[in-house]
Amino acid sequence: MKKMCCVVLASVIIMVLIIRQCLADRVELKIRGVTSIAKTDDDFVCVTLDWWPPNKCNYNQCPWGTSGILNLELQNKTLINAIKAFDRLRVRIGGSLQDQVLYEVGYGVKDCPGFNRTDNALFGFSGGCLSMERWDELHHLFNQTGAVMTFGLNALFGRKKSKDDNALWVGDWDSQNARDLMEYTFSKGYKVDSYELGNELCGSGVGARVEADQYGKDMLTLKKVVEEIHPNPSTRPKVLGPGGFYDEKWFNTFLQTSGPNVVDGLTHHIYNLGSGDDKTLINKVQDPYYLDQVAQTLKDVTTGIQSFGPWTEAWVGEAGGAYNSGGKDVSHYFADGFWYLDQLGMTSTFNHKVYCRQALIGGNYALLNTTTFIPNPDYYGALLWNKLMGKIVLGVSHDSSPYLRAYAHCSRHGSGVTVLLINMSNSTTFEVYARDDLNLYPGNQASLQSVDNEPEREEYHLSPDGGNIQTDVVLLNGTPLKITREFDIPALNPKLVDPALPITVQPDSIVFATLKGFRAPACA
344/394 Cα distance (integer angstroms): 14
Q: Are 65 and 360 in contact (CB under 8 A)?
A: no
Q: Which stretches of 372-437 are DSSP H helices?
A: 377-388
Q: By C-alpha distance, which of 262, 161, 139 is closest to 210?
A: 161
202/216 Cα distance (integer angstroms): 11
Which amino acid, residue 506? Q
Catalytic residue among 196, 313, 318, 458: 318
Active site residue 318: yes
Which amino acid, residue 314? A
Chain-centre distance for alpha carbon 510: 17
Task: Give whole-number Cα distances, 362 to 67, 312, 326, 370, in Å.
Answer: 5, 31, 10, 5
Q: Which residues contact 352 (CB under 8 A, 6 or more apart)?
A: 38, 40, 298, 301, 302, 313, 314, 315, 316
Q: Which residues pair with residue 29 across a beta bridge?
A: 434
197/218 Cα distance (integer angstroms): 9
CB atoms within 10 A of CB 113: 11
Active site residue 200: yes
* Residue 38 φ then ψ, to 5°: -170, 175
Q: By C-alpha distance, which of 177, 67, 183 is closest to 127?
A: 177
287/281 Cα distance (integer angstroms): 10
* Residue 238 φ then ψ, to 5°: -75, 160
Catalytic residue among 200, 211, 313, 458: 200
Q: Which residues are catalytic?
A: 200, 318
